Amino acid sequence: MEYHELTVESAQKLLCEHKVSSVELTTALLDRIEKYDEKIGSFITVDKKRALEQAKKADQDIADNNIFSLTGIPIALKDLLCTKGIKTTCGSKILDNFIPEYDATIVKKLKDNGAVIIGKTNLDEFAMGSSTENSAYKITANPWNQEYVPGGSSGGSAAAVAARFCCAALGTDTGGSIRQPASHCGVVGLKPTYGRVSRYGLVSYASSLDQIGPITKNVKDAAILLNVISGNDKNDSTSSRVDVPDFNLAIDLFEKKSLKGMTAGIPKEYLSVDGIDPDVKKVFHDAGKILEDLGVEIKEISLPHTEYVVAAYYIIAPSEASSNLARFDGVKYGFREKRADDLIDMYKQTKSKGFGMEVKRRIMIGTYALSAGYYDAYYGRASKVRTLIMEDFSKAFGACDFILSPVAPAPAFKIGENIDDPLTMYLTDIFTLSANMAGIPGISVPAGYSSKGLPIGIQMMGKKFDEMSLLRAGHGFEKTIQLDKRFPKI
Contact positions toward ligand GLN, by CB under 6 A? Answer: 127-130, 153, 173-177, 205, 317, 429
Per the annotation, the verdict on 434 as an active-site residue is no
Distance of closest approach, residue 134 Cβ to ligand GLN, in angstroms: 8
Question: Judged by CB, which is closer to ligand GLN: 130, or 198?
Answer: 130
Contacts of 257 (CB under 8 A, 6+ apart): none
Within a 10 A sphere around the Cβ of 274, how many other Cβ atoms?
7
Distance of closest approach, residue 174 Cβ to ligand GLN, in angstroms: 4
Q: Which of 177, 183, 230, 319 is catalytic?
A: 177
Per the annotation, the verdict on 177 as an active-site residue is yes
Question: Judged by CB, which is closer to ligand GLN: 318, or 488?
Answer: 318
∠ Cα 114 116 119 (to 5°): 150
Amino acid at the residue 464: K
Question: Judged by CB, which is closer to ligand GLN: 9, or 133?
Answer: 133
β-strand partners of 202:
81
Distance of closest approach, residue 427 Cβ to ligand GLN, in angstroms: 10
188's enclosing H/E stretch is strand 188-191
Distance, CA of 222 to CA of 227 (rounded, Å): 9
Per the annotation, the verdict on 302 as an active-site residue is no
Q: Which of 22, 78, 217, 450 is catalytic?
A: 78
Strand ranges across the sheet with 116-121? 43-45, 116-121, 74-78, 168-173, 211-216, 188-191, 442-449, 455-462, 402-406, 263-267, 297-301
Query: Coil, strand, or helix at residue 168?
Result: strand
Distance of closest approach, residue 126 Cβ to ligand GLN, in angstroms: 8
| DSSP classification of residue 379 | I
Distance of closest approach, residue 128 Cβ to ligand GLN, in angstroms: 5
Question: Judged by CB, which is closer to ligand GLN: 15, or 76?
Answer: 76
Distance of closest approach, residue 2 Cβ to ligand GLN, in angstroms: 32
How far from 263 is each of 139, 156, 290, 392, 421, CA to CA, in Å? 40, 34, 13, 17, 38
Distance, CA of 146 to CA of 341 (rounded, Å): 45
Give the pairing type, strands 74-78 and 168-173: parallel
Question: Judged by CB, which is closer to ligand GLN: 212, or 400?
Answer: 212
Question: Judged by CB, which is closer to ligand GLN: 176, or 330?
Answer: 176
Distance, CA of 76 to CA of 184 (rounded, Å): 18
The catalytic residue positions are 78, 153, 177
